[in-house]
């Protein structure tokens, strides 16, 4: 077949496929507007067969006649010429050479109606003479539904705003808000009555001007800003007519979602109402406590309910991925999609739950010296494959000497991996990522520099806002808009700061600073000087110590301590569940237990050991960075044999270990006798 003929046939086939698409109604008419072509999409959308309409009716016959009348009148007025409310109203602009898209109501054969978007184009021959019209339409029902839902949401928002304002106005107290400098930003009607001034007169005026003692009033605002809350602060309000009223102010600071201070909220009440106010505040406190408790229970339940089915999805997908014989290429691709979506969903669940836990104030951190020389390679290994797929190059600092910072190891890795993942996702193909580390005073700054497209000042101001992806949601890159918010909150909880420097078309550098820390060290002299072997022990009788700890630096420290005791051998576990399993299997003499562990906590692991007859006798020493008196008390009440705080003091550690070993030896001796 000649190539030219083949091209013509292919083109015709393509045109035919497009014209007969089931997704669009394609209706072609002659110059009079009578339907000549009625494609498959039109048949499905309107319920007519082509044989029902071709050479019989015009598109106006399947359109809402009232709309045609309105359209004809509008066009008549616009163009200054009478236009009939039929097919002429549909094709007039196309006849004038104007491309137009109408929103029409089509009427199906069964007389049901639906909204449609219809593009009308004039069809011309080689001499530019109109030979017909082409109407291409799509069902607009879904968009209409979305618009209706959006309007409903907007109405709900207006209703909520009205409801909030109603609550503000219906309060029996005189309410007001001020900015951080003490300028009134809003008041309710009771405040107007108290001062004898209108709302417009009060807004923009200084708070202190409403009272007989302006300095005392200003001091009250400063105290609220300093202490975040003030209760029963007495002031004397002076109305415009000179009337004075002694009031008791209860005030608090309020913040936006980014925890940026917005000002002070204050409620004033006559002193005679103080007792009733106390009852109201106590009730509010109990309600808040119940709400926090309910939130914690909900988070726990949601985490379990989400992870259980996801565990099955990912588990069986991984089994299928490793089946023998292996799946074919098509099946492999499908399994890969399941795994990719599953892991991404797990990441989303983790981020949302983490954010909720932090906002509820329930997150517990274990702050201790963390080795960057250990953490950074671990993070690099996690994101290496992701970077390799995009052809990106990594540069990581070379730590000639150990460098430690004060933080929570797990959360530090979470922050660093998030910044690395963003640098990969929003980089240029074949770009670079440079990770650097430098000491600034008493802090250590870790920077992640990418060669991406950079951020303009407007987008920089929107960073660290929950669910704000700065327009990246249209690029196809997966993300939740939570990662940077989580990173900021975690860094701040670890006592640090986070920021970004960016230049458009050159790239961005995300950085965070945490306090530098001293490396855990061994004082050899202290080991020699303190803690001799228990009298009953000898090098030939080796006892077993199990250490449950997820921090590598702490593990190494204890390993070195125990290595100087020829009568001891050390077992290690990196989480509470594994620690419990090892204790049951190996029956150690003593267990050393960290509190903040991945999975179950040290206290939970202790409870499991205590409830098991085979391990209940083993003395368990807590070793934790939770060093507050309340933490120690809570640990001892939980049943720990002793409670050691980090950093470890060698003498105390060895003495406590000796006491625990002697206790274990006495128990074994008693069991033998």
Confidence of residue 308 (pLDDT cuts 50, 70, 90): very low
Cβ contact 310:346 at 8 Å: yes
User: Above 70 in pLDDT, residue 653?
Assistant: yes
The pairing of beta strand 590-593 with beta strand 543-548 = parallel
User: Above 80 in pLDDT, residue 357?
Assistant: no
CA distances from 472 to 237, 330, 432, 475, 489 (A): 53, 30, 20, 5, 22
Task: Give me the helix-helix angle, 576-586 and 602-611, nearest 10°.
Answer: 30
Q: Is 633 exposed, middle or buried (0-12, 13-18, 19+ CB in 10 A)?
A: exposed
Cβ contact 155:124 at 8 Å: no
User: Above 50 in pLDDT, residue 526?
Assistant: no
Percent pLDDT > 90 in the chain is 21
Whole-angstrom Cα distance, residue 446 to residue 372?
A: 10
pLDDT of residue 535: 42
When comparing pLDDT for 484 and 636, which is higher?
Answer: 636
Cβ contact 94:120 at 8 Å: yes
- CATH no. of 368-517: 3.30.565.10
Confidence of residue 189 (pLDDT cuts 50, 70, 90): confident
pLDDT of residue 379: 85
554's torsion region: left (phi>0), alpha (psi -120 to 50) or beta?
Answer: alpha
User: Above 80 in pLDDT, residue 252?
Assistant: yes
> For 530, phi and psi rounded to 5 degrees?
-110, 165
Order of all β-strands in the sheet with 261-270: 184-187, 174-178, 261-270, 244-255, 229-238
pLDDT of residue 269: 79
When comparing pLDDT for 284 and 332, which is higher?
Answer: 332
Whole-angstrom Cα distance, residue 139 to residue 91?
A: 20
pLDDT of residue 82: 92
pLDDT of residue 295: 61
The pairing of beta strand 507-517 with beta strand 497-503 = antiparallel
Residues 6+ apart with CB under 8 A from 472: 426, 479
pLDDT of residue 310: 61
Confidence of residue 390 (pLDDT cuts 50, 70, 90): confident
SS (H, E, C) 40-80: HHHHHHHCCCHHHHCCCCCHHHHECHHHHHHHHHHHHHHHC
In Å, how far from its chain's centre is CA 89? 52
- CATH no. of 524-672: 3.40.50.2300
The model's pLDDT over 477-520, given as tens digits with 9 standing for 90+, comes to 555 567 788 888 889 988 999 989 888 888 899 999 999 988 77
Q: Tally Cβ neighbours within 10 Å of residue 513.
A: 22
Q: Cα Rg for the chain, rounded, in angstroms?
A: 37
Of 270-284, 351-365, 559-573, 622-636, give the range with the top mean pLDDT. Answer: 559-573
| CA nearest to 33, candidates 62, 66, 76, 64 | 62
Cβ contact 61:105 at 8 Å: no
181's torsion region: left (phi>0), alpha (psi -120 to 50) or beta?
Answer: alpha
Percent pLDDT > 70 in the chain is 78
User: Above 80 in pLDDT, residue 662?
Assistant: yes
The model's pLDDT over 2-15, given as tens digits with 9 standing for 90+, comes to 555 455 444 555 45
111's torsion region: left (phi>0), alpha (psi -120 to 50) or beta?
Answer: left
| CA nearest to 71, candidates 100, 45, 50, 51 | 100
Least confident of 123-132, 310-319, 482-491: 310-319
pLDDT of residue 593: 93
Segment 121-144 shows an average pLDDT of: 87
User: Above 90 in pLDDT, residue 551?
Assistant: no
In three-state secondary structure terms, 408 is coil
* Class level of CATH domain 165-282: alpha beta
Segment 373-394 shows an average pLDDT of: 86
Whole-angstrom Cα distance, residue 336 to residue 339?
A: 5
Segment 152-161 shows an average pLDDT of: 78
pLDDT mean across residues, the chain: 80
State the number of CA atoms in the 13 A half-sphere of 181 facing the CB: 4
Confidence of residue 534 (pLDDT cuts 50, 70, 90): very low
pLDDT of residue 358: 67
Least confident of 25-34, 58-67, 155-164, 654-663: 155-164
pLDDT of residue 582: 93
User: Above 90 in pLDDT, residue 659?
Assistant: yes
Q: Tally Cβ neighbours within 10 Å of residue 524.
A: 11
Contacts 24+ apart (CB under 8 A), 310-313: 310/342, 310/345, 310/346, 310/349, 313/338, 313/342
Segment 207-223 shows an average pLDDT of: 86
Whole-angstrom Cα distance, residue 578 to residue 590?
A: 16
pLDDT of residue 205: 87
Whole-angstrom Cα distance, residue 428 to residue 392?
A: 8
Only one residue has tokens 């979305």, namely 146
Per the structure block, which two tokens stand in for 75? 């066009």
User: Above 80 in pLDDT, residue 549?
Assistant: yes
Segment 320-345 shows an average pLDDT of: 74
User: Above 50 in pLDDT, residue 531?
Assistant: no
* Class level of CATH domain 3-139: alpha beta
In three-state secondary structure terms, 454 is coil
User: Above 70 in pLDDT, residue 303?
Assistant: no
Segment 159-163 shows an average pLDDT of: 76
DSSP states of 582-631 as a string? Answer: HHHHH--SEEEE-SS-SSS-HHHHHHHHHHSTTTTTS-EEEEES--SHHH
User: Above 60 in pLDDT, residue 627?
Assistant: yes
| CA nearest to 99, candidates 50, 136, 55, 146 | 136
Cβ contact 444:402 at 8 Å: no
Whole-angstrom Cα distance, residue 438 to residue 445?
A: 5
Confidence of residue 78 (pLDDT cuts 50, 70, 90): confident
Residues 6+ apart with CB under 8 A from 324: none
Segment 657-669 shows an average pLDDT of: 88
pLDDT of residue 309: 60
Of 294-303, 304-313, 333-342, 542-551, give the range with the top mean pLDDT. Answer: 542-551
In three-state secondary structure terms, 305 is helix
Whole-angstrom Cα distance, residue 202 to residue 269?
A: 18
Whole-angstrom Cα distance, residue 452 to residue 547?
A: 45
> For 83, phi and psi rounded to 5 degrees?
-130, 125
Whole-angstrom Cα distance, residue 190 to residue 556?
A: 66
SS (H, E, C) 634-666: HHHHHCCCEEEECCCCHHHHHHHHHHHHHHHHH
């Amino acid at each position: 077949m000649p190539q030219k003929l083949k091209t013509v046939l292919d083109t015709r086939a393509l045109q035919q496929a497009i014209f007969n698409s089931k997704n669009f109604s394609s209706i072609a008419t002659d110059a009079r507007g009578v339907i000549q072509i009625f494609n498959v999409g039109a048949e499905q959308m309107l319920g007519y067969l082509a044989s029902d309409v071709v050479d019989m009716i015009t598109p106006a016959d399947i359109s809402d006649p009232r709309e045609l009348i309105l359209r004809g009148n509008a066009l008549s007025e616009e163009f200054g010429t009478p236009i009939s409310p039929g097919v002429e109203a549909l094709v007039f602009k196309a006849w004038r050479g104007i491309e137009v898209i109408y929103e029409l109501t089509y009427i199906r054969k069964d007389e049901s109606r639906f909204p449609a978007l219809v593009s009308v184009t004039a069809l011309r021959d080689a001499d530019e003479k109109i030979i017909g019209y082409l109407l291409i339409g799509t069902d607009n029902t879904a968009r209409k539904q979305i618009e209706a839902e959006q309007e409903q949401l907007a109405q709900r928002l207006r209703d909520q705003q009205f409801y909030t304002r109603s609550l503000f106005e219906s309060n029996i107290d005189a309410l007001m808000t001020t900015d951080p400098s003490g300028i009134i930003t809003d008041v309710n009607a009771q405040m107007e009555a108290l001062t004898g001034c209108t709302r417009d007169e009060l807004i923009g005026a200084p708070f202190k001007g409403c009272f007989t003692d302006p300095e005392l009033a200003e001091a009250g605002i400063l105290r609220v800003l300093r202490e975040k809350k003030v209760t029963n602060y007495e002031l004397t309000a002076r109305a415009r007519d000179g009337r004075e009223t002694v009031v008791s102010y209860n005030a608090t600071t309020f913040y936006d979602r980014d925890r940026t201070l917005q000002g002070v909220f204050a409620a004033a009440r006559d002193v005679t109402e103080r007792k009733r106010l106390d009852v109201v505040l106590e009730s509010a406190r109990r309600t808040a406590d119940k709400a926090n408790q309910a939130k914690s229970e909900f988070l726990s339940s949601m985490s379990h309910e989400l992870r259980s089915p996801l565990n099955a999805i990912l588990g069986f997908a991984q089994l299928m991925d490793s089946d023998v014989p292996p799946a074919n290429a098509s099946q492999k691709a499908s399994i890969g999609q399941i795994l990719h979506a599953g892991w991404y969903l797990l990441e989303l669940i983790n981020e949302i739950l983490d954010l909720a836990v932090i906002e509820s104030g329930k997150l517990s951190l274990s702050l201790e010296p963390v080795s960057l020389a250990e953490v950074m390679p671990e993070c690099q290994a996690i994101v290496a494959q992701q970077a390799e797929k995009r052809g990106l190059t990594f540069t990581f600092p070379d730590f000639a000497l150990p460098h430690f910072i004060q933080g929570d190891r797990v959360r530090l890795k979470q922050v660093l991996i998030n910044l690395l993942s963003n640098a990969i996702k929003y980089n240029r193909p074949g770009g670079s990522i440079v990770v650097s580390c430098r000491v600034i005073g008493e802090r250590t700054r870790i920077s992640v520099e990418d060669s991406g497209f950079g951020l303009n000042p407007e987008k920089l101001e929107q960073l660290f806002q929950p669910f704000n992806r700065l327009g990246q949601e249209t690029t196809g890159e997966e993300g939740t808009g939570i990662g940077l918010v989580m990173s900021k909150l975690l860094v701040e909880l670890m006592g640090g700061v986070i920021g970004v420097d960016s230049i458009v078309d050159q790239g961005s550098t995300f950085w965070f600073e945490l306090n530098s820390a001293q490396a855990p060290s061994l004082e050899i002299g202290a080991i020699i000087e303190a803690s001799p072997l228990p009298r009953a022990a000898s090098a030939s009788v080796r006892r077993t110590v199990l250490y449950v700890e997820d921090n590598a630096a702490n593990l190494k420290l204890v390993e070195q301590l125990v290595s100087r005791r020829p009568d001891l051998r050390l077992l290690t576990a990196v989480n509470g569940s594994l620690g419990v399993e090892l204790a049951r299997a190996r029956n150690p003499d003593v267990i050393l237990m960290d509190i903040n562990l991945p999975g179950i906590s040290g206290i939970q692991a202790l409870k499991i050991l205590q409830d098991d007859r085979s391990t209940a006798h083993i003395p368990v020493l807590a070793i934790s960075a939770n060093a507050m008196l309340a933490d120690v008390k809570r640990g001892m009440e939980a049943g720990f044999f002793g409670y050691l705080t980090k950093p470890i003091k060698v003498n105390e550690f060895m003495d406590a270990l000796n006491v625990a070993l002697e206790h274990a030896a006495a128990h074994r001796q008693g069991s033998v006798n």
